[in-house]
Amino acid sequence: MTKENLIEIGKYLKGKDLSSAVFAEVYDHFVMQISELINKKDINFTEAFLQTKFNWQSELEMVKADLFSFKRITKIEKCILQDRFKKMMMIAFLFSVIMGTVFYFNENVYLCFQGALIAMHVLFLMYHFIFRKMSFSEYQKMIFHPLLLRNVLLMLIILPLTNIIFSTTKNLWEFPLNHMFITFSVVLQIQLFYFRAKKINVLLV
């Protein structure tokens, strides 16, 4: 293939708004598949390129990124993001269960751990702003990230039910579930900051 052919492949894939890591991987696959088609089927670049685009049609279809997002991304990118989101939510869930248990047995120890998590969150935030790793508009997008919106929606559904069930307790602070939701949100935001610092796509931009 010529240099112009490689540029044409790159332009096509850039139009799919892929993250840098996914772009590099898909680009390599495109180049290899087109080369194989040209050599094995004895066809020109244009025909091989069309065939490869057809073969990747499903993976590169533009779909809605998430139920709580208006952004459209390729199906292959969505699958990668959804797997990443599941792992993030699992980590946040484990932390929230641990913190809820700690709160139930010892509130003072819970406050120490929760303070450490919040301090870590603030340090990550300061790091991104001081070293200009994130703009304020990007931070606003993070606040309304689909994962956090799901957590808020879940809180709005579950907390009123638990408050009704345990109506004898008037102080909301005494519900371990409330603290589990807080921990879940904080740990999710810490992970979002971490991935942003590593320039790993988590649907912020």
Residue 185 near residue 151, CB atoms below 8 Å = yes
Let me know whether 23 and 123 are in one domain. no
Which structure tokens are listed for 95?
A: 């932390």
**DSSP conformational letter for 172:** G
Which structure tokens are listed for 45?
A: 């670049």
Let me know whether 106 and 182 are in one domain. yes
Phi/psi of residue 67, nearest 5 degrees: -60, -35
pLDDT of residue 175: 73
pLDDT of residue 86: 93
Length of the chain counted residue by residue = 205
In a domain? residue 73: no
List of residues 6+ apart from 172 with CB closer than 8 A: 163, 178
How many degrees, rounded to 5, is the angle at CA 200 between CA 147 and CA 71?
A: 50
Let me know whether 144 and 191 are in one domain. yes
In a domain? residue 160: yes
In a domain? residue 80: no
In a domain? residue 72: no
pLDDT of residue 21: 87
CA distance 150 to 185: 10
Q: How far is CA 176 from CA 31, 92, 105, 182, 196, in A?
A: 54, 15, 10, 10, 30
Question: How many structural domains is the chain composed of?
Answer: 2
* Structural domain range at position 26: 3-60
- Spell out the per-residue pLDDT of the chain, length 205, in tens: 899 999 999 999 999 989 888 999 999 999 999 999 999 998 999 999 999 999 999 999 999 988 888 889 999 999 999 999 999 999 999 999 999 899 989 999 999 999 999 999 999 888 888 887 778 888 888 888 888 888 888 887 877 776 666 555 556 667 778 888 889 999 999 999 898 888 888 875 4
Q: Which amino acid is at 45?
A: F
Let me know whether 118 and 192 are in one domain. yes
Model pTM above 0.75: yes
Surface-to-core class of residue 122, CB atoms within 10 Å of its CB (0-12 exposed, 13-18 middle, 19+ buried): exposed
Let me know whether 96 and 191 are in one domain. yes
